[in-house]
Structures are given as structure tokens and as C-alpha cells.
Structure 1
Amino acid sequence: MVIEYAGTVIRAVLTDKREKYYDSKGIGCYMFRIDDFDVVDATMKGNAARFINHSCEPNCYSRVINIDGRKHIVIFALRKLYRGEELTYDYKFPIEDEDNKLHCNCGTRRCRRFLN
């Protein structure tokens, strides 16, 4: 285990409204979906996990784990991590049509060119 993705748990139906609010204020948005119903919003009350970047060849992975009936998003190492090494994981965004694709800039040999 490397770090928990911490923040405020909100209902998934509120994410669009919050994202529009953050955009209107010029605030970067950091949200991570737990399941179909809940999302962790780390934008205002998150920790350093919100700054972990995407990579098509990551050194970490994320898992939703259940602890005492509460779901937590945890980042785990895929291999030994070295001091100063950037942490990355695959965001695994849902596949979108060509017009809504997000370009990937990870620069790895196996880059898929898109996050979704």
C-alpha cells in the first residue's frame, strides 16, 4: 500500500455540478469514482494522492477496498518504488467516442495515446 485517495465522499449525481463550479472558479478538479453511486472529491479536502498522474505503463494500481463497511480507494505499488520516482497508475477512464477522447501525454513506449 502506498497511499489512500482521500477526500469528501459525494453522490455520483453531484459530480457534474461540482465540476462546473470548480471550472467557473478556475479550480482544478480531482475526483475518483468509487462505484456507480459514490465518488471521492479530493479537490478541496484531499491529500497528495490526487496529484498522482496517469500512465499507460504505471508503477502503481488502484483498488476499492472495504474496511468496516466503508469503501476506500487505495493506491498500491506494482513493484519496488525508488526514492524520487514519480508515482503513476492507469486512470482506466471509460471508453469514449472519438469526439470526447482525452489525449494521453505519459510518453511511455506502450502509450495508448488516449486516457479513454
Structure 2
Amino acid sequence: MIVEYIGQKIRSLVAEEREKAYERRGIGSSYLFRIDEHSVIDATRRGNFARFINHSCQPNCYAKVLTIEGEKRIVIYSRTVIQKGDEITYDYKFPLKMTKSTVSVGAKSCRGYLN
């Protein structure tokens, strides 16, 4: 285990409205991480370093939703041994129904998209 993705737990409809509000305010990046179809963690204003973990098509970590004492939480785990100075990454796996966001991380298996 590397870190828990921490922020404010909100409903999906609230997350959609916040995302639009963040865009209107010029906040280029929001840190919304979907737990399930009903809930999202919003780490845009409060959170820990987990919100700064970047995407990779060949990540060295993965995210997993765990239920702890009846509450769903997002935890980031390592796939490999991570050396000091290595960047921590995971696959964002954005929903396929979203507009494709291009990416070029230089990995051999890079899909070219976040979703």
C-alpha cells in the first residue's frame, strides 16, 4: 500500500456540478476520483499527495476500492518495487463514454488516450 486517496466524499451529481464550476473558475485540474456509480472523492481543495499521482499506460501502481468498516475508500498499491526518485503512476481508466483525452507518455504500450 502506498497511500489512500483522500478528499471529500460527494454524490456523483454533486461531482458533475463541481466539475463544471471548477472549469468556469479556470481551475484546469480537478481531482475527482469515482468510487462507484453513486460516490466520488473530490480532492480538489482538500486531499493529500495521492491527487498528484500521474497517469501512465504502463503504471507502477494501481487503485483499488476497499470497504473498511462499511465505508468505501480508494487505496493506491504498488505493482512493482518503486525506487527512490521514481515517479508514482497509475492508469486513470476514465470511462469510455467520455470524450477521449489524448496523452503521450512514451510507454511502449501507450494507448494514446486516458480512456
TM-score by length of 1: 0.93
Distance, in Å, in 2 between the alignment partners of 1:72 and 1:109 is: 31
Distance, in Å, in 1 between the alignment partners of 2:8 and 2:20 is: 17
Distance, in Å, in 2 between the alignment partners of 1:44 and 1:13 is: 18
Name structure 1 gaps, 5 residues minimum. Answer: none
Q: 1:6-21 residue pairs with structure 2 within 5 A?
A: 6-21=6-21
Give how far 1:105 is off: 2.1
- The residue identity in structure 2 corresponding to 1:9 is K
Distance, in Å, in 1 between the alignment partners of 2:26 and 2:94 is: 23
Give how far 1:96 is off: 3.4
Residue 49 of structure 1 aligns to a residue whose secondary structure is helix
Give how far 1:76 is off: 0.1
Give how far 1:92 is off: 1.1
Structure-2 residue corresponding to 1:109: 108
Residue 24 of structure 2 aligns to a residue whose secondary structure is helix
Structure-2 residue corresponding to 1:89: 90
Distance, in Å, in 1 between the alignment partners of 2:97 and 2:17 is: 21
Number of equivalenced pairs: 114
Distance, in Å, in 1 between the alignment partners of 2:97 and 2:112 is: 13
- Alpha-carbon RMSD: 1.1
Name structure 2 gaps, 5 residues minimum. Answer: none
Could you report, residue by residue, the CA deviation over 1:58-94 in whole angstroms, capped at 9, with x for unpaired residues?
0000000011111110000001000010000011112
Distance, in Å, in 2 between the alignment partners of 1:29 and 1:84 is: 25
- The residue identity in structure 1 corresponding to 2:100 is K
Q: 1:1-116 residue pairs with structure 2 within 5 A?
A: 1-27=1-27, 28-96=29-97, 100-116=99-115
